[in-house]
Amino acid sequence: MRRTVLVGLTAALSLSGCSDTASPDPADAAQVAVELVVQDLASPVFLTAPPGDDRLFIVERAGRIVIVEAGVVRAEPFLDIRPLVTSGGERGLLGMAFHPQYALNGQFFVNYTDSDNASTEVVRYTVSDDPAVADPSSRMSILSVTQPFANHNAGMLAFGPDGMLYVGLGDGGSTGDPLNHAQRPENLLGSMLRLDVDGGTPYAIPADNPLLGHPTARPETWAYGLRNPWRYSFDRATGDLYIADVGERIHEEVNFQPVSSPGGQNYGWRIMEGIACYNPPSDCSTGGLTLPVHEYTHVDGCAITGGYVYRGSAVPAIVGRYFYADFCTNWVRSVLVSDGIAFGLRDHMGEFGPLPGIVSFGEDGHGELYTVSLNGRVYRLVEPTP
């Protein structure tokens, strides 16, 4: 089932820090539509697949990973760890990443909230002799981080073009980062971590991590100053990193890190929220901070769901556009980014309408792009049908 119309929406130039506004252009034809792939899933929160694989692996918040083949959910889950998981709200089984050499070593990694002490757990598993079923006994703990509050768990995992595992951690929760975790890289909260999971047990610190050797900072830290980097992604073509950070009061933001970056960025939280001062509420110092490449305010939504730069082949008109959504207002938008500047904002509401509760985007094994809604529906981006 496809959802499309012939009139799209475009927007004026959107520079770094500009609010996310869009205006209709009646002469602009639709670029993209969506096609329902599967529905009636149990609170799905993520979708992924190994490179070249035709299957979809969908993460359900309660603690299951299911496989979808040709629109049909396999009866037996790929992995079921529900007894290990605290689920509900911002807790649960939240992320999954296949090792770049999955075809050879069968390894994949998950991120979940532990049932015993509500900590964030990053764990490695291995597929069994049956390629449709993981081996639960292969469990190996990679990282455990205590969470002082129930929210801002982030949960994403992704391998970068450098083969390292990137782990995004929220600031620990509550309101306003009361313990100032995000500005204190001596703890892991409010940070993006970079781990070499092949260089040691359970991991090694990459020799070029930016804070390695710092007298107080944790050497795992790649960047910090993040509130809740729920979803982030690497551009398949360029290796650039996009981090969508969920805002507090007013601003939702997209941070951009070029592939050439040595890391070490301070993205500003809780000093700043987006391009505005937060603590202090005025006259804050922006020295040493990296401001977002793009943002919007709560006039337009309430919580950003970060996506991907489209690099698939099914919809040539949108190649190179970074897609994101708002969880509350149900729109999908996209921008182009060049030399660290976002422009060409497009609102896709006129092309396929609202998509309620988008909690994640996902890429399949061929680079095609999907939306995942907490209401159990998954859509694929496709070319419009006249």
* pLDDT tens for the chain, residues 1 to 386: 665 432 222 232 233 444 564 443 434 678 999 999 999 999 999 999 999 999 999 999 999 999 999 999 999 999 999 999 999 999 999 999 999 999 999 999 999 999 987 899 999 999 999 999 999 999 999 999 999 999 999 999 999 999 999 999 999 999 999 999 999 999 999 999 999 999 999 999 999 999 999 999 999 999 999 999 999 999 999 999 999 999 999 999 999 999 999 999 999 999 999 999 999 999 999 999 999 999 999 999 999 999 999 999 999 999 999 999 999 999 999 999 999 999 999 999 999 999 999 999 999 999 999 999 999 999 999 999 87
Q: Does residue 147 contact residue 112 with C-beta atoms inside 8 Å?
A: no
E-state strands within 128-245? 134-145, 157-159, 165-168, 191-195, 221-224, 231-234, 241-245
Residue among 249, 345, 350 nearest 301 (CA): 249
Domains annotated for the chain, with CATH where assigned, are: 2-382 (2.120.10.30)
Within a 10 A sphere around the Cβ of 213, how many other Cβ atoms? 8
HSE-up (13 A, CA, CB side) for residue 176: 6
The structure tokens listed for 11 are 């927007």
Closest CA to 121 of 154, 158, 161: 154
Supply the DSSP string of 139-170, one letter for each residue.
EEEEEEE--SSSS-----EEE-TTSPEEEE--
What's the whole-model pTM score? 0.94
Dihedral angle at the C-alpha atoms of 220, 112, 370, 379, nearest 10 degrees?
-170
